[in-house]
Chains A and B, each alone.
Chain A
Amino acid sequence: MAVIEAEHLSKRFGKKVLAVDDVSFSIEPATITGFLGPNGAGKTTTLRMLVDLVRPSGGTIRILGSRYRDLARPTTRVGALLDASGFHPGRSGANALRVVATSAGISYDRVDAALEMVELEGAARRAVKGYSTGMKQRLALAAALLGDPEVLLLDEPANGLDPEGVRWLRTFLRARAAEGRTVLISSHVLAEVEQTVDDILIISRGKLLAHGPINELTRTAQPVVRARAPQAEKLEGLLVAKGAAVNRLGDALAIRGPGSAEVGEIAHAGGLVLHELLTEQPSLEDLFLQIAGTRKES
Chain B
Amino acid sequence: MSALLRAELLKLRSTRTALGMGIAAALVTILPAVLLIAFLPKSTIGGDQAPGILTAGSSLVTYILLVFGILGMTGEYRHGTITYTYLATPRRGRVIVVKLVVYALVGCVAMLLALLLANLIGVIGLPMRGVSYPAPDGAALADYARQIVTAGLITAFGVALGALFRAQVVTVAGTLIWALMIEPLIVVFKPHIGAWLPFNVFSQVISLRIGDTGSAAEGLSRPEAFLVSIGYIAAVSVLAVFISMRRDVT
Enumerate chain A interface residues (CB-CB to B < 8 A). Answer: 13, 44-45, 48, 51-55, 68-69, 74-75, 80, 82, 84-92, 95-96, 98-100, 102-105, 143
10 more contacts with CB within 8 A, not counting A74-B87, A88-B79, A95-B10, are A51-B90, A54-B248, A69-B91, A85-B83, A86-B83, A90-B15, A90-B16, A99-B84, A100-B84, A103-B85
Q: Is the CB of B248 within 8 A of A100?
A: no
0 or 1 for each of B1-37: is its CB under 8 Å from A? (1 = yes): 0011011001100111100000000000000000000
Known: A88-B79, A100-B84. A52 touches B90 (CB 8 A): yes
Q: Is the CB of B87 within 8 A of A53?
A: yes
Kindly provide the distance from the CB of B110 to the nearest chain A CB, expressed in whole angstroms. 20
> How far does the alpha carbon of A56 sit from the alpha carbon of B206 in the complex, in Å?
46
Q: Is the CB of B87 within 8 A of A80?
A: yes
Q: For residue B86, which residues in chain A have a CB less than 8 angstroms away from its CB?
A: 52-53
Q: Is the CB of B3 within 8 A of A105?
A: yes
Q: Is the CB of B90 within 8 A of A87?
A: no
Q: Which of A54, A92, A103, A143 has the most chain B CB within a 10 Å cutoff? A: A103
> How far does the alpha carbon of A100 sit from the alpha carbon of B89 in the complex, in Å?
10
Return the contact of A143 from the options B7, B16, B84 (Cβ within 8 A): B84
Q: List 11 A-B contacts (CB under 8 A).
A: A44-B250, A55-B246, A68-B90, A74-B87, A74-B90, A82-B83, A84-B250, A85-B81, A88-B14, A96-B81, A104-B3
Q: For residue B90, which residues in chain A have a CB less than 8 angstroms away from its CB?
A: 51-52, 68-69, 74
10 interchain residue pairs of minimum CB distance = A86-B80, A85-B83, A103-B7, A69-B90, A95-B14, A102-B7, A104-B88, A103-B88, A53-B249, A54-B248
Q: Is the CB of B88 within 8 A of A75?
A: yes
> How far does the alpha carbon of A159 sit from the alpha carbon of B167 in the complex, in Å?
27
Q: Is the CB of B88 within 8 A of A91?
A: no
Known: A74-B90, A103-B88. A48 touches B250 (CB 8 A): yes
Return the contact of B80 from the options A51, A69, A87, A92 (Cβ within 8 A): A87
Known: A52-B86, A52-B90, A103-B89. A87 touches B10 (CB 8 A): no
Known: A69-B90, A99-B14, A103-B7. A88 touches B83 (CB 8 A): no
Q: Is the CB of A100 within 8 A of B91?
A: no
> How far does the alpha carbon of A85 sit from the alpha carbon of B250 in the complex, in Å?
8
0 or 1 for each of B202-219: is its CB under 8 Å from A? (1 = yes): 000000000000000000
Known: A85-B84, A90-B16, A143-B84. A53 touches B11 (CB 8 A): no
